[in-house]
Structure 1
Amino acid sequence: MKIVTIAYSLILAISGIFFTYEGAELALAGGSLYYFIFGLLLLLAAFLHFKADVRASVVLAATFLLTICWALWEVGLNYWGLFPRVLTPLGFLIISLGVVAFLRPAPRFGSLGVLAAAVVTFLAFFGFSFKPFQEVIGERDPSFKIAQVSNAPDNWAAYGRTVEGTRYGPFNQINRDNVRNLKIAWTYRTGRPLDPGGWASDQNTPLQIDNTIYSCTPQNVIHAIDATTGKNKWISDPGVRPNSVARCRGVSFFRDPDAAKGSQCADRIIATTIDARLHEIDATTGARCTGFGENGFVNLSDRVGQSQNLLYYQTSAPLVARNLIVVGGWVSDNQHRGEPSGVIRAFDVRTGAVVWAWDLGNPQTTREPQDGQTYTLGTPNMWSHAAFDDKLGLIFLPLGNATPDYFSTGRPPHSESYNSALVALDIESGRERWKFQTVHTDLWDYDLPSQPALVDMPNDKGEMVPSVIQLTKRGQIFAFDRRTGQPITRVEEKPVPQTGHVSDELPSPTQPYSVGMPTIGGGALTEASAWGMTSFDQLWCRIDFRKRRYDGEFTLPGLTSRIQYPSAMGGMNWGSASYDPVNSRIFVNDIRIAGLNRLMLRDEFNEYVKTHKPTLDGHGVAAMEGTPYGEVTSHWMSPFGVPCSQPPFGTISAIDLKTRKVVWQGPADTAKNLGPMGIALGLPMRMGSPTYAGTMTTAGGLVFFAGGQDNYLRAFDAETGQELWKGELPVGSSATPMTYVSPIDGKQYVLISAGGAAHSPTMGDYVIAFSL
């Protein structure tokens, strides 16, 4: 027993030295004095344990009570705020009680009772981590309705089911009463190459046309699958050899009203590739539509300033609007000035000819540049999905930024009013009808990632207005009259930080805030909100907070490291919103991870890249050639690999568009496959993880989601947010679910692509359909 006592004394002493030294550093930096005091008390307890003095446990009990008082004062009853503050000193106390209880040959009943009480307290408090703490508790709403629908088969014919981008399945065979009975109906394997490096990610939402599912792999191989049985019909491989970020979020569909039924390419699957090509396939046979472009292909890199290292290509599904295919493109950020153009082009759906082009840097170019010139280089691009209102004849484009993201001086002047802007174009002419910029002089990579959602919502007078909802990485939700671009809900320009930037930068003094709609996540970080799984890494994060530059949202990039929150990951990202038209609700998922960013002068950066490899997607380590700086970005993490921002790390929220309030909000998933140092602990703690992909809602009063970090497809009650069902997947998913009714057996299916959760080394090639 003496050896145990000495060993535990040593553990307490080392811990005490750590907290005393690091706590003093935090206190001297203007932070909390608690950790310094905690360290001294641990040292006293270590000394008493070494002397085999039972008063060591008394000291640790007093330390625990002191900690409770301090923690409640600092974070109140916030469970995740209390978690690292309470459990660490309670753990020290429990071990001490155990050692003391067995110091004597015959342990006293009282000692064992105190030990048991402490253990029960620890387990009970830890057990609450498996409970989903809803930030907004959902309640039953007497006005909530389950839609009365026919459940007749109806195609999921676009990325968001329709070109309005609402992800609403008008079926209620599967509903709140029976969703618990969902089982796997069939599983399909694509056989795609798996990429443990993480550059290939399956983010695909398949289409369903009649009795066929059309699914694409990150390498752009298209699979036609029987929607009822899951059997393969055909496979089309465009022969892509990716050398960068491989994505295929979906394909598109066109049914030619002028073609004879059953003729070649009467129904067409339209897709883009990660080597910048647009191609068409006969939806029935998988054969090339040879009359489209050159043998079925159009070269999208033509006239955009493409370089040999493929900085420009497509990762999102093209928009099919009337007889046009509207295409933007992904551009690798932060490589150099004058990267490929962000031009938006419309191609004839039958021939592949350019019908119009919108080059925001040169309005005179309405189709193709003359005399071998290119479209304007370095302009903001659209890497996400567009939406279309056929009645108004308007296309809605969520734009990104002119590169680089973190330094604006020298950007093309015509681009500044379009960075991070929502733009409406006329479908016939491709000319601009209106625009709204969500970030001025964007220095944070707050490009618009989400497909706009075309919904109907009341204005301030209570009048129903055709609206467009735009989600942002900032967690801001903007709502516009889609006819005019005027905000339906109040938007205010607010002053933002103006210090810390490099001397040749001129930041915007204000930024737009959508104060008439709820903000999802966000909020100001503080030293007290810095987190960790234990008191050890929480202290590290608190010290690190004091070392970094942080002036709140819109902290400017500079030569010293800054914390950015929300980070460039989001807020809301490319998953977009889903919309319940019957109850006028939208459902959104978000990411709550802080980021770090620093600019480096060129000489320092050139030394840095000798030991740090630049990243393929332009984030992490990027050269920003043509500017005086390189840049480095990362997540703000503790040494244990745990975020320094407090849980939840991702949530799902329901927003009532009538009241413009969040009606429920809670963690989307668990940390079952996560853990410190990247080691999955298998503990399904409901802290919510960063959420990718998006939600899908149905007429059955359900919201489906699978884009968390554990391996489940979940169904939530759309009224209250209660989790009603979860189906385990063989691997995680980074894709948005979809649903359909089979025209063969009349059953409703819910389908998901499962290729691996974001950032997970465990990957797969599954397309899985569930039914009752």
Structure 2
Amino acid sequence: MAAEKTAGWPARIWAWVGGGLVALVGAPLFLGGGLLIWKDGSPYYLLAGAALVATGVLLIRRHFAAGFVYAATLLATLIWGLWEGGFEFWPLLPRLLAPAVLGLFILLVIPTTPKSRLRTQATLALAAVSLLTLGTLGAAIPALYRWGQAPAPASLRGAAPPAVAASDWRYYGRDPGGARYAPVDQINRENVENLKVAWTFRTGEKPHKGSQDQNTPLQVGDSLYVCTPTNVIIALDADTGREKWRHDPKVKPFFWNRCRGVGYWDGTQPKVAVAGSAASAPKPAGKTAAGAGKATPSTPKPAQAALAAEPADGPPCRRRIISTTINAQLFALDAETGRRCAGFGKDGMVDLAAGMGPIKRGFYFQTSVPTVIGDRIVVGGWVMDNQELAEPSGVVRAFDVRTGELVWAWDLGNDEITKLPPEGQTYTRGTPNVWSTPAFDPDLGLIYLPTGNATPDYWGSHRSLAAEGYSSSVVALDVATGRMRWTFQTVHHDLWDYDVPSQPMLIDFPVKDGTAPALVQLTKRGQIFVLDRRTGTPLTRVVEVTVPSGTQPGEWTSRTQPYSVEMPTVGVERLTEAKMWGATPLDQLACRIIFKRARYEGDFTPPGGKTPSIQFPGNAGGMNWGSGAYDPRRGLLIVSDVRMPQLVALKRSAKALLNPTQTKDRPKPSLKAVAYEADNNWMLSPVFAPCLQPPHGMLTAIDVKSRQIVWQVPAGTAEAQAPLGLESGLPLPIGTLGIGGPITTAGGVTFRAATTDPYLWAYDNATGKVLWRGKLPVAASGTPMTYVSPKTGKQYVVTVAGGAMGSPLAPKGDYVVAYALK
């Protein structure tokens, strides 16, 4: 009583303030924990909340037992955190950091209680447990920097192709097959740490809320060719970054401005032959067992679609840069001067809206690189998703590289249209589109198209047989005729926006009797399909697996989906409540409640109605348009992926019902198609922290011979990330969002730049270890490239830095940055 009488008002006020704050933290934990238990979730939060409230009340009453109660609570939290999250830093962070810091805060309040031996013991106990908890968390940090690295380096293969002295980057994926492998080793594992900025160029592109700079430059000889989101083409000196010329098509930015690269054609070279076939195209038959490839039964007969060589002293435009605009124009420029090629279309431009029918402004254009193969320019198109039905056609067209004349058209819904539609008609609307980048095989005369799905993404009962047969597929066309040779579907009746975004990769794939010409297709699902690129037949086993069912009235789901069971699946482990994350226990609790309230049955959980569903992977992937890289010296397939679930809910739309004439050939004719609108969002906590524990973006190397993961490391740090959209400045490898891809070299180095932090990263191909990182003015979103200058013999690595993906608060820029050894 004597000590109580001598306590002053400051101590009492501090006890009320401190104890009140502790109780205030405990109350939502207690209430939310009760809701979580009602949803059959973890009891920890209810118990911890009750203990915190009790601790707060004891502090208000200035009772020494507050220290004992919270010390016991914190010790139980430490044990629970290790039991549920293991000895890994990111799972432990929200479970331990805030509770340990709160313990240190309580140590500041306990001195307001009357002095006694028990108060001293309570203080020591709480201090010891708080320091133990922080020490446990700190001890887990070093493991972050060794996470997923190969314990033994991947060795070189005996048949590895030798490195060469010089190398251009003439295609989006460096070669027609999209392998993103540069056979040069001037920059290698031993010296990459010596890279320095060689030059920096600024395009002058003004930031726009609808723009993202996803460009991978093209390089031929002493010139580098760059495009901006509004399709300004700039030629730079490959050694200095000095501007040679620029062409501005003067298009106004829309709500979605992209240019991933440009195409190149060289008419000065000797005759270039491309094999082809006039075989007729089979009609799609929808789903087949195990998603197997469908091909024409006849063996293709080679034909020639050749380029005639032009004399060295011929007219302008002997070498051409081919590009498109965000208002659907195709144009050709003289690679030497940047002037439009007068004989190409009308004043150097071809209108890609021809034959398409009505197009709303910004609803149809090309975001990816035109594919130049032989004397053909092949283009698909991007459409604005989820806005209306019967959007512009997904037709794929080939144009003559000299004249711009339409050579052939592949209309997915009408194989009788081979060029322009008949008068008064249009290409079939509402068909799957090809918005990403194809690959092609000149020897086979085939171009390989990754297809999207028919809009809207999350509702499909109205889709035609053509849409069902071709959506979310890889389709091989005869480049000479535009006729289909085979197709392989990666998702049946796609209701998840799982279109095929990655450029197919053409490699020699190890099989039992040697190697086979393969097409490796990365998907948003994290599945990797390996097909014989001659026929579309799987080279690794694909099986049909039963998936969840149950949809909104009027919709249906496919009973099974194809799984590539002999290749690793990347980044799609089944979600659990324990994997829900957040910056603190409070928002982790919120994420757990979100998880338990939603419907989640694993892969292919159908889109939800009143009860939202969880989609994982989300519609950004898995793997996206950044595609992968292939190191033939080690037989490593290197891929990057995104790991962010989404909440999806369908709401009845006020838009008009579908016209029955558009749905007469759908697979279930008894159902009336009703338009729904999808509400899909990242699964985030109330303070905008991801609800899934890190890493959120990974780089993975797969041995194609053993078909096993060799190493897997987080890509990017937490430096530019924090709750509420802030920046933490912490260089911890969290693995960040980013859909630009990797490239690799004969020097044993993989480069990637698409992280939220502003760096170009270099990884050891053999182990996954970070060898170097180069600071960029702002973060990058695209895929880097590398080349050796024919003038100086110096190897450069170049990336375009325009700002991180998907963050409106992230700094924007207009930088092209080249690195070289000093």
**TM-score interval, smaller chain:** over 0.9
Match of 1:182 in 2: 195
Match of 2:337 in 1: 285
The alpha-carbon deviation at position 110 of structure 1 amounts to 10
In the alignment, is the contact (CA less than 8 A) between 2:641 and 2:698 conserved in 1? yes
Further displaced range: 152-161 or 133-142? 133-142
1:140-539 correspondence to structure 2 within 5 Å: 140-141=152-153, 143-144=155-156, 149=162, 151-195=164-208, 197=209, 199-256=210-267, 257=269, 258-261=309-312, 263-459=315-511, 461-499=512-550, 501-539=551-589
Match of 1:540 in 2: 590
Q: Which amino acid aligns with 1:585?
A: L
In the alignment, is the contact (CA less than 8 A) between 2:12 and 2:112 conserved in 1? no
The alpha-carbon deviation at position 142 of structure 1 amounts to 6.3
Match of 1:68 in 2: 78
In the alignment, is the contact (CA less than 8 A) between 2:461 and 2:673 conserved in 1? no
In the alignment, is the contact (CA less than 8 A) between 1:101 and 1:108 conserved in 2? no
Provide the rounded CA distance (Å) in 2 between the counterparts of 1:80 and 1:38: 21
Provide the rounded CA distance (Å) in 2 between the counterparts of 1:142 and 1:375: 50
In the alignment, is the contact (CA less than 8 A) between 2:503 and 2:627 conserved in 1? yes
Gaps of 5+ in 1: 607-624
Question: Could you say if the C-alpha distance between residues 705 and 719 of structure 1 is closer, same or farther in structure 2, counting changes exceeding 3 Å?
Answer: same
Determine helix, strand or coil for the equivalent of 1:21.
helix
1:714-753 correspondence to structure 2 within 5 Å: 714-753=761-800
In the alignment, is the contact (CA less than 8 A) between 1:531 and 1:643 conserved in 2? yes
Determine helix, strand or coil for the equivalent of 2:75.
helix
Question: Deviation digits for residues 10-63 of structure 1, max 9, x if unmatched?
Answer: 111111111111111111121111111111111111122122223212111111
In the alignment, is the contact (CA less than 8 A) between 1:131 and 1:685 conserved in 2? no
The alpha-carbon deviation at position 679 of structure 1 amounts to 1.3
Provide the rounded CA distance (Å) in 1 between the counterparts of 2:435 and 2:803: 22
Provide the rounded CA distance (Å) in 2 between the counterparts of 1:666 and 1:86: 24
In the alignment, is the contact (CA less than 8 A) between 1:134 and 1:667 conserved in 2? no
Determine helix, strand or coil for the equivalent of 1:36.
helix
Q: Which amino acid aligns with 1:432?
A: M
1:79-118 correspondence to structure 2 within 5 Å: 79-100=89-110, 111=123, 115=127, 118=130
Provide the rounded CA distance (Å) in 1 between the counterparts of 2:58 and 2:780: 52
Provide the rounded CA distance (Å) in 2 between the counterparts of 1:34 and 1:116: 22
In the alignment, is the contact (CA less than 8 A) between 1:532 and 1:643 conserved in 2? yes
Identity %: 48
In the alignment, is the contact (CA less than 8 A) between 1:729 and 1:754 conserved in 2? yes
Q: Which amino acid aligns with 1:216?
A: C
Indicate yes or no: 2:699 matched with 1:647.
no
Determine helix, strand or coil for the equivalent of 1:525.
coil
Question: Could you say if the C-alpha distance between residues 395 and 746 of structure 1 is closer, same or farther in structure 2, counting changes exceeding 3 Å?
Answer: same
Indicate yes or no: 2:603 matched with 1:590.
no
**Which of the residues 30, 35, 60 maps onto 1:20?**
30
The alpha-carbon deviation at position 201 of structure 1 amounts to 0.3
Q: Which has the larger radius of gyration?
A: 2
Determine helix, strand or coil for the equivalent of 1:659.
coil
**Which of the residues 710, 717, 734 maps onto 1:670?**
717
In the alignment, is the contact (CA less than 8 A) between 2:756 and 2:804 conserved in 1? yes
In the alignment, is the contact (CA less than 8 A) between 1:342 and 1:380 conserved in 2? yes
Provide the rounded CA distance (Å) in 2 between the counterparts of 1:43 and 1:114: 17
The alpha-carbon deviation at position 98 of structure 1 amounts to 3.7
Q: Which amino acid aligns with 1:125?
A: L
Match of 1:620 in 2: none
Q: Which amino acid aligns with 1:403?
A: T
The alpha-carbon deviation at position 216 of structure 1 amounts to 0.3
Further displaced range: 42-51 or 729-738? 42-51
Provide the rounded CA distance (Å) in 2 between the counterparts of 1:69 and 1:121: 10
Indicate yes or no: 2:13 matched with 1:7.
no
Indicate yes or no: 2:776 matched with 1:765.
no
Determine helix, strand or coil for the equivalent of 2:579.
coil
Question: Could you say if the C-alpha distance between residues 150 and 452 of structure 1 is closer, same or farther in structure 2, counting changes exceeding 3 Å?
Answer: closer
Provide the rounded CA distance (Å) in 2 between the counterparts of 1:134 and 1:143: 20
Determine helix, strand or coil for the equivalent of 1:417.
helix
Q: Which amino acid aligns with 1:588?
A: V
In the alignment, is the contact (CA less than 8 A) between 1:130 and 1:685 conserved in 2? no
Further displaced range: 367-376 or 143-152? 143-152
Q: Which amino acid aligns with 1:174?
A: I
Match of 2:629 in 1: 578
In the alignment, is the contact (CA less than 8 A) between 2:71 and 2:125 conserved in 1? no
Provide the rounded CA distance (Å) in 1 between the counterparts of 2:227 and 2:786: 17
The alpha-carbon deviation at position 133 of structure 1 amounts to 5.4
Q: What is the TM-score with the length of structure 1 in the denominator? A: 0.94
Provide the rounded CA distance (Å) in 1 between the counterparts of 2:738 and 2:723: 19
Question: Deviation digits for residues 149-186 of structure 1, max 9, x if unmatched?
Answer: 55422210010011110111111111111111100000
Determine helix, strand or coil for the equivalent of 2:525.
coil
Provide the rounded CA distance (Å) in 1 between the counterparts of 2:207 and 2:215: 15
Match of 2:68 in 1: 58
Question: Could you say if the C-alpha distance between residues 733 and 127 of structure 1 is closer, same or farther in structure 2, counting changes exceeding 3 Å?
Answer: farther
Provide the rounded CA distance (Å) in 2 between the counterparts of 1:109 and 1:752: 59
Question: Could you say if the C-alpha distance between residues 93 and 442 of structure 1 is closer, same or farther in structure 2, counting changes exceeding 3 Å?
Answer: same
The alpha-carbon deviation at position 646 of structure 1 amounts to 1.5
In the alignment, is the contact (CA less than 8 A) between 2:19 and 2:59 conserved in 1? yes
Question: Could you say if the C-alpha distance between residues 142 and 38 of structure 1 is closer, same or farther in structure 2, counting changes exceeding 3 Å?
Answer: closer
The alpha-carbon deviation at position 708 of structure 1 amounts to 0.7
Determine helix, strand or coil for the equivalent of 1:42.
helix
Question: Could you say if the C-alpha distance between residues 205 and 630 of structure 1 is closer, same or farther in structure 2, counting changes exceeding 3 Å?
Answer: same
Provide the rounded CA distance (Å) in 2 between the counterparts of 1:735 and 1:131: 29
In the alignment, is the contact (CA less than 8 A) between 1:337 and 1:626 conserved in 2? no
Provide the rounded CA distance (Å) in 1 between the counterparts of 2:700 and 2:396: 32
Q: Which amino acid aligns with 1:180?
A: E
Indicate yes or no: 2:47 matched with 1:37.
yes
Provide the rounded CA distance (Å) in 1 between the counterparts of 2:105 and 2:349: 69
The alpha-carbon deviation at position 680 of structure 1 amounts to 1.3
In the alignment, is the contact (CA less than 8 A) between 2:63 and 2:114 conserved in 1? no
Q: Which amino acid aligns with 1:324?
A: R
Provide the rounded CA distance (Å) in 2 between the counterparts of 1:265 and 1:127: 63
In the alignment, is the contact (CA less than 8 A) between 2:67 and 2:125 conserved in 1? no
Indicate yes or no: 2:753 matched with 1:706.
yes
Question: Deviation digits for residues 45-95 of structure 1, max 9, x if unmatched?
Answer: 112212222321211111112122323333333432222122232222222
Provide the rounded CA distance (Å) in 1 between the counterparts of 2:188 and 2:434: 36
Q: What is the TM-score with the length of structure 2 in the denominator? A: 0.88
The alpha-carbon deviation at position 598 of structure 1 amounts to 1.2
Provide the rounded CA distance (Å) in 2 between the counterparts of 1:61 and 1:261: 83
